[in-house]
Amino acid sequence: QLDAITGLLTEIEYHCSPNQDERPDKDDINGIVIHNISLPPGDFGGGWIDDLFLNKLDPKAHPYFKKIADLRVSAHLLIRRDGEIIQYVPFHQRAWHAGASCWNGRERCNDFTIGIEMEGCDEQTFEQAQYQQLSKVIKALNQSYPKLTTKTIIGHQDIAPGRKTDPGPFFDWQYLHTLLA
């Protein structure tokens, strides 16, 4: 369930990311962007994603981290491989997930979308538990934000083509839409 006052899902962990700010219009939430993330790339289950979103990533912990440790990014939610959900940014706030982006003729997609990270990568399928949790989250969001529909769920590659490829070819859009029907 979604607490309309706090903008947080109830009964899940909340780790407050410093990488957030006010939306230009908190009532203008009309898209959900699906991403994938794994740190280091292709590895699942560690605490590195949390560290990235909380600005605590140690650049010495892995060679790849030197490239990204200074990034200031976040998402509203992370859905881990086992279905665990962690929220980093209240939905009425702007998370920094989309970067340079454009959708339906509008730039700056962070302003009007909700970013959901799926723990995964472009080269592997996602887990059943992740789709189950994602569908529950989307249904809860649809109840609170009337502009959200199944047609407003998009991939990062859709809003940043040529720059981003996630959630990737193994994300099963048809299965997600079946769960949402």
For 63, residues 6+ apart whose C-beta sits below 8 A from its C-beta are none
d(CA 58, CA 164): 24
Pairing of strands 8-9, 2-3: antiparallel
CA nearest neighbour of 16 among 70, 47, 54, 60: 54
Q: Name the catalytic one among 11, 117, 119, 123.
A: 117
The question of whether 11 is a catalytic residue gets the answer no
d(CA 48, CA 25): 32
Tell me the two tokens of residue 135.
């569908």
- Judge if the upstream peptide bond of residue 40 is cis by omega within 30 degrees of 0: yes
- Enumerate the active-site residues: 117
